[in-house]
Structure 1
Amino acid sequence: MLSFLFHFMEKGGDRMDILFTLAIEILKVIAREVAVFVAKRVGKSLSTSWKQIQRRKTKRTTHNAGKRLKGGSKKK
């Protein structure tokens, strides 16, 4: 980014152009950091919910298998 800025200054760009370019570059960096942060949070949330769903499925299947082995519920 700085090399671009120095190159721009050598060509005789005025201050407003330089400030505008600098502001755009800063916004790009901030946007990238925010995107990474959000992606990590969403990924973590999805992973946690997926694990909970799988755990529930495993509990249910194990519980049902135990019932089948014992003979299930007996009606009187």
Structure 2
Amino acid sequence: MRELPAGSGRRCYVIGDGDGPASRLADEMEAAQLGLARHLLDRAERAAGDPEPVDVDLLALVARLSRALGDALRMAEGD
């Protein structure tokens, strides 16, 4: 089971590992989420090395990292 994008905070899933349009959409969504995770990880690593980080920027980064991690866990767990 794989998660697809859905509006209004609802969840939508495709079942199976086929090669149909829904599976391709799930592939695209997963690739986008992984790309965002890579980007956020790079930002986090740079922020960790900053001798004078800005608290507001760090809080925003933590919020985005939390959302990205939640998305990744939902994808991995199929929950």
Greater fraction of residues in helix: 1
Greater fraction of residues in strand: 2
Tell me the TM-score normalised to structure 1 length.
0.42
Larger Rg: 1
Tell me the TM-score normalised to structure 2 length.
0.41
Question: Whose RCO is larger (CA < 8 A, sep 6+)?
Answer: 2
